[in-house]
């Protein structure tokens, strides 16, 4: 089956990219801060969305998670991963 060709602005399936170990370590820190935020607001873990990634025009990806707060607002935790720090040809 041919791999999907992503365009800038598309949401990228994280199974289709392999971030470097450095990028994974950096994302782990962002995810830890997001988890602390959720704990502080008493948002149950089961209500947390999956992280996503978006392809940027420069070839990098932005990994992010959007968390809805009990007050009806939302907070996004994200980080940019340069094209040199992931492999888009996993499959």
Both tokens assigned to 49? 């969305």
Residue 74 class from Cβ within 10 Å (0-12 exposed, 13-18 middle, 19+ buried)? exposed
Q: What is residue 89's predicted lDDT score, i.e. its pLDDT?
A: 59
Flag whether 3 is in a domain: no
Q: Which residues of 23-58 are buried (b: 16+ CB within 10 A; e: fewer)?
A: beebbeebbeebbeebeeeebeeeeeeebbbbbbee
Q: What is residue 55's predicted lDDT score, i.e. its pLDDT?
A: 92
Flag whether 78 is in a domain: yes
pLDDT tens over the chain, length 91 residues: 346 778 899 998 777 788 899 999 999 999 999 999 999 999 887 888 889 999 999 999 999 999 998 888 999 999 999 999 987 655 4
Flag whether 58 is in a domain: yes
Q: What is residue 88's predicted lDDT score, i.e. its pLDDT?
A: 67
pTM assigned to the model:
0.82
Give the total number of structural domains in the chain: 1
Full domain range(s) for residue 76: 11-86
Flag whether 52 is in a domain: yes
CA proximity to 12, closest of 63, 58, 77, 67: 63
Q: What is residue 58's predicted lDDT score, i.e. its pLDDT?
A: 94
Both tokens assigned to 60? 């990098």
């Amino acid at each position: 089956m041919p791999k999907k060709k992503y365009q800038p602005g598309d949401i990228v399936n994280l199974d289709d990219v392999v971030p470097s170990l450095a990028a994974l370590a950096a994302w782990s820190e962002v995810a830890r801060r997001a988890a602390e935020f959720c704990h502080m607001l008493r948002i149950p873990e089961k209500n947390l969305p999956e992280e996503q990634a978006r392809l940027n025009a420069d070839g990098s990806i932005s990994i992010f998670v959007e968390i809805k707060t009990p007050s009806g607002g939302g907070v996004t935790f994200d980080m940019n991963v340069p094209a040199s720090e992931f492999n888009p040809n996993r499959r």
